[in-house]
């Protein structure tokens, strides 16, 4: 009798809960035609918080109605690298550190980008690292170790990536096997620009586009990278947005991680502010489009960064922030996930990093 009363009470609670209504609306009433996944490599909560303290404008992070947290240990350790982290997002499998698009047994697993392409969607990848670096590579390549960047490059021409922009030219042109993979890209229908992010006169889905704008990583913001990341994001959206079947786009702010490894707060801040601009471009598109899910997250935190108070004569000065770091490597903290648009409700709560794969597929109605 008692449990009967409890069931009734629960039922009434669920029916009357406004939160539940909102969840239904966010999660399941509408299908996402497009998914934009933005990954700030090494961007824990402290790094993202710098966008609230070190620029005058309101950060684009405030535009997300849904926030969750992901747990990110890889298959064989407590702290992940970017390869296992991105492979968890891209394939749904927890794998070992250094794994690119393969599971813990080194078996290749189909990625969200490959699935989206198989279902007729267009696809894009943008990074401020080389396009063969761990994070972007995990969406199109399948190799047992992230250091195999020439092998990763050789897999790009036959991948279903329609648009890519980043660095990494040397892995296509100055290779140990002497091959020139720019030629291979051209023979596979890519219009490749190794000079600058130039908008083609006729930006058409009949072509594929590649921009390889640095030998390895792109320059730092502090070295004059300028608006590459937000502009490449805009260009990709102008191109991919033409597909009536939708698209999948991954945009990486790669160097937030590199600033963390260097324990260089200014490096982290400038890369985070740049990433925030790219987030704004994605959200502007999604607001206008109405059928686009935008997810922002990181693979892990880097540097054990803390927004500490400045120290003046051994005292904390609470009026000023002087970021500090606790490690030159990655840390184990849970990582925020910010979501906007149809299916965003799936991203509430606390879950494993590899569940993000299934959540994106569910938003797409491909699962």
Which residue, 60 or 82, has its beta carbon nearer to Zn ion?
82
Q: What does the buried/exposed string (b/e) look like for 17-37 if buried means 16 or more CB atoms within 10 Å of the residue's CB?
A: eeeeeeeeebbeebebbbbbb
Which residue, 33 or 220, has its beta carbon nearer to Mg ion?
220
Q: Considering the complex, what minimum distance in angstroms separates the CB of residue 231 from Zn ion?
A: 25
Which residue, 33 or 330, has its beta carbon nearer to Mg ion?
330
Q: Considering the complex, what minimum distance in angstroms separates the CB of residue 133 from Mg ion?
A: 6
Applying CB under 5 A, does 162 fall inside the site for Zn ion?
A: no
- What is the C-alpha separation between 114 and 90, in angstroms, rounded? 9
CB-neighbour burial class of residue 119 (10 A; exposed 0-12, middle 13-18, buried 19+): middle
Q: Considering the complex, what minimum distance in angstroms separates the CB of residue 48 from Zn ion?
A: 16
Q: Report DSSP state, residue 238.
A: H
Q: Considering the complex, what minimum distance in angstroms separates the CB of residue 42 from Zn ion?
A: 5
* Residue linked to tokens 């918080």: 49
Which residue, 100 or 240, has its beta carbon nearer to Mg ion?
100
Whether 295 contacts 37, CB under 8 Å: yes
Query: Site residues for Mg ion, window 37-66 (CB under 5 A)?
Result: 41
Applying CB under 5 A, does 257 fall inside the site for Zn ion?
A: yes
Task: Considering the candidates 3, 28, 75, 82, report the single residue annotated as catalytic.
Answer: 82
Binding segment for Mg ion (CB under 5 A), chosen from 131-139, 239-247, 267-275, 351-359, is 131-139
Residues binding Zn ion: number (CB under 5 A): 1
Q: Considering the complex, what minimum distance in angstroms separates the CB of residue 129 from Mg ion?
A: 5
143: left (phi over 0), alpha (psi -120 to 50) or beta: beta
Is 333 a known active-site residue?
Answer: no
Cα-Cα-Cα-Cα torsion 137, 143, 149, 150, nearest 10 degrees, comes to -120
Mask 148-187, x = binds Mg ion (CB under 5 A)?
----------------------------------------
Whole-angstrom CA distances from 126 to 146, 330, 350, 355 are 18, 23, 27, 22
Which residue, 242 or 326, has its beta carbon nearer to Zn ion?
326
Tell me which of 50, 72, 135, 354 binds Mg ion, using CB under 5 A: 135
Mask 344-363, x = binds Zn ion (CB under 5 A)?
--------------------
Query: Site residues for Mg ion, window 230-289 (CB under 5 A)?
Result: 254
Beta bridge partners of 296: 38, 338
Among 319, 342, 300, 275, smallest CA distance to 74 is for: 300
- What is the C-alpha separation between 147 and 141, in angstroms, rounded? 12
Whether 345 contacts 25, CB under 8 Å: yes
Q: Considering the complex, what minimum distance in angstroms separates the CB of residue 301 from Zn ion?
A: 10
| 274 interacts with, out of Mg ion, Zn ion, none, CB within 5 to 8 A per kind | none
Sequence-distant (≥ 6) Cβ neighbours of residue 279 within 8 angstroms: 38, 60, 61, 294, 296
122: left (phi over 0), alpha (psi -120 to 50) or beta: beta
| 3, two tokens | 């449990």
| 254 interacts with, out of Mg ion, Zn ion, none, CB within 5 to 8 A per kind | Mg ion
Name the residue number minimizing CB distance to Zn ion: 257
- What is the C-alpha separation between 259 and 325, in angstroms, rounded? 11
Query: Site residues for Mg ion, window 91-130 (CB under 5 A)?
Result: none
Applying CB under 5 A, does 271 fall inside the site for Zn ion?
A: no
Which residue, 26 or 213, has its beta carbon nearer to Mg ion?
213
| 135 interacts with, out of Zn ion, Mg ion, none, CB within 5 to 8 A per kind | Mg ion
Which residue, 263 or 292, has its beta carbon nearer to Mg ion?
263
| 256, two tokens | 């937030």
Enumerate the active-site residues: 82
Could you list the residues that contact Zn ion (CB under 5 A)? Answer: 257
Positions in the binding site for Mg ion (CB under 5 A): 41, 82, 135, 254
């Amino acid at each position: 009798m008692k449990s009967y009363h409890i069931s009734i009470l629960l039922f009434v609670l669920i029916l009357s809960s406004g939160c539940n209504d909102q969840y239904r609306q966010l999660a399941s009433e509408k299908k996402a035609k497009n998914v934009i996944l933005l990954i700030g490599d090494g961007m824990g909560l402290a790094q993202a918080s710098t966008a609230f303290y070190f620029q005058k404008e309101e950060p684009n992070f405030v535009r997300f109605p849904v926030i969750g947290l992901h747990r990110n240990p890889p298959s064989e350790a407590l702290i992940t690298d970017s390869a296992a982290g991105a492979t968890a997002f891209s394939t749904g499998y927890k794998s070992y550190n250094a794994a690119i698009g393969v599971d813990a047994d080194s078996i290749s697993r189909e990625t969200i980008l490959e699935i989206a392409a198989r279902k007729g969607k267009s696809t894009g990848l943008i990074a401020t690292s080389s396009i063969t670096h761990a994070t972007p590579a995990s969406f199109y390549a399948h190799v047992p170790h992230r250091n195999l960047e020439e092998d990763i490059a050789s897999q790009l021409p036959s991948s279903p990536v329609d648009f890519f922009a980043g660095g990494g030219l040397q892995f296509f042109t100055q290779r140990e096997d002497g091959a020139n993979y720019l030629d291979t890209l051209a023979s596979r229908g890519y219009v490749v620009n190794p000079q600058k992010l130039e908008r083609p006169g006729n930006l058409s889905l009949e072509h594929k586009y590649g921009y390889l704008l640095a030998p390895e990583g792109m320059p730092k913001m502090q070295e004059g990278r300028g608006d590459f990341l937000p502009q490449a994001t805009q260009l990709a959206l102008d191109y991919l947005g033409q597909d009536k079947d939708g698209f999948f786009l991954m945009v990486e702010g790669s160097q937030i991680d590199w600033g963390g490894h260097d324990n260089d707060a200014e490096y982290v801040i400038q890369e985070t502010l740049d990433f925030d601009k790219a987030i704004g471009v994605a959200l502007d598109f999604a607001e206008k489009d109405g059928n686009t899910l935008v997810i922002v997250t990181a693979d892990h935190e880097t540097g054990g960064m803390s927004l500490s108070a400045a120290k003046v004569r051994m005292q904390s000065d609470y009026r000023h922030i002087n970021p500090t770091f606790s490690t030159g490597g990655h840390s184990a903290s849970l990582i925020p996930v910010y979501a906007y648009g149809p299916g965003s409700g799936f991203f509430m709560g606390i879950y494993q990093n590899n569940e993000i794969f299934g959540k994106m597929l569910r938003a797409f109605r491909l699962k």
